[in-house]
Amino acid sequence: MHRSRAVMAWNVFKFCTALRGLGSIMILLVLGVVGVTYYAVVLNNYGPALYDGGIDSLVSLAVLIPFHSLLVMLLWSYFSVVLTDPGSVPPNWRPAIDEERGEADPLNGSEFSGVQSDQSNQRIRYCRKCNQLKPPRCHHCSVCGRCVLKMDHHCVWVVNCVGALNYKYFLLFLFYTFLETSLVTLSLSPHFIAFFSDGEIPGTPGTLATTFLAFVLNLAFALSVLGFLIMHISLVSANTTTIEAYEKKTTPKWRYDLGRKKNFEQVFGADKRYWFIPTYSDDDLRRMPALQGLEYPSKPDFDSQEF
């Protein structure tokens, strides 16, 4: 029993080390895909067509302007997720004591294990590995080796955990990646179809291969990111994280579900001007505790409900 647990722990450790090692490679991989795509769309196809004059120039502009705008937003969001700390527990963090409930000792009734149930949000949880109390919605990430505020998942593509402070940036990254890869797929599809026609195709084997590769990669990303995007839209509209959605399967009522609009604002902020960029207004950061990752408003009538 102990032996198998030790073996499992060792496997998890090796897996986590491998994931960490993968880190910089994943960033290079993302930049590689961007590079191949840029070469195919701008340098090979629509850049040169810009000088053809007439309708060709107009079509090129109609592709190149949104292509570059989306690329800037995509890279801005991407590096915001990579470089923003998802949120860690402040040293010696203690919960505010709930006097009404008489929980003078926050450790009363807590479970001293890394496993939590959805009900434990009401109780104070403790992380054995970090030796500290866990704020609500906080989870321990075995890859990062620490507790992460409102942890959603550990994402290998961004070499970081996705949590309270960078979840919005992650969603924007998905959103802009979907738009950009769809645009590239559409704009390269005439060139892709030309491969299978009988006529002579202009270009060297190298440039043709790059166009082919860029089309296939972007189509694959567009389809897989769309699935991910739909999943996260439903998570945001219910104010849950991936981990919570998995844990609360048996609980029909969710204490943090404030209604669709408020749930959206809990992630994106209330200021509309900041919804599409990976940052928050100072006002929102001051006014909305959820954006700091330590306290989350719950349904007003929830405390009276039975768990």
Q: Which residues are catalytic?
A: 155
Shortest Å, Cβ 71 to Zn ion: 27
Shortest Å, Cβ 148 to Zn ion: 6
Shortest Å, Cβ 20 to Zn ion: 10
> Which of 295, 294, 265 is closest to 280 using CA atoms?
265
- Toward Zn ion, which CB reaches closer, 137 or 154? 154
- If you search the block for the tokens 């491998």, which residue do you land on? 18
- Toward Zn ion, which CB reaches closer, 41 or 158? 158
- Toward Zn ion, which CB reaches closer, 148 or 188? 148
Q: CA-CA distance, 124 to 109, in Å (whole number)?
A: 8
Residues 82 and 64: beta-carbon distance below 8 Å:
no
- If you search the block for the tokens 């991989």, which residue do you land on? 29
- Toward Zn ion, which CB reaches closer, 135 or 269? 135
Q: Which residues contribute to the site for Zn ion (CB under 5 A)?
A: 127, 129-130, 140-141, 143-144, 147, 154, 161
